[in-house]
Amino acid sequence: MGIETIDIENNKGAQAISIPKKMRIDDDKVYLKKVGNSLYIIPFHNPWQNLIESTDSFTSDFMDERNQPIQQQRESLD
């Protein structure tokens, strides 16, 4: 799915957008997060779905070769 250009409607100090049908979110509520000058719309009831599904994109050798410090010996928290 690509990027769509849509208009922003101004109404009494608030802004509203209409989400195109092909980008429909199957939820009755969303999180709205502002990062810099961008807005992210995240489904409320399943916010981690994209992250979980993206792990399938990693190859089996992902991070096989990485610089990792030697594990520290620490006293128990018990």
What is each CA distance from 68 to 25, 27, 55, 61, 73, in whole angstroms? 40, 41, 21, 16, 15
- The pLDDT-based confidence of 62 (bands split at 50, 70, 90) is confident
The pTM of the full predicted model, rounded to 2 decimals, is: 0.63
What is the pLDDT at residue 63? 81
Torsional sign, CA 4, 34, 17, 13: negative
Tokens of 14: 């608030």
Backbone angles phi, psi at 12, to 5 degrees: 50, 45
In tens, the pLDDT along 2-57 reads 899 999 999 999 999 999 999 999 999 999 999 999 999 999 999 999 899 999 89
Is residue 43 exposed (0-12), middle (13-18) or buried (19+ Cβ within 10 Å)? middle
Q: Where are the domains of the chain?
A: 22-49
pLDDT of residue 8: 96
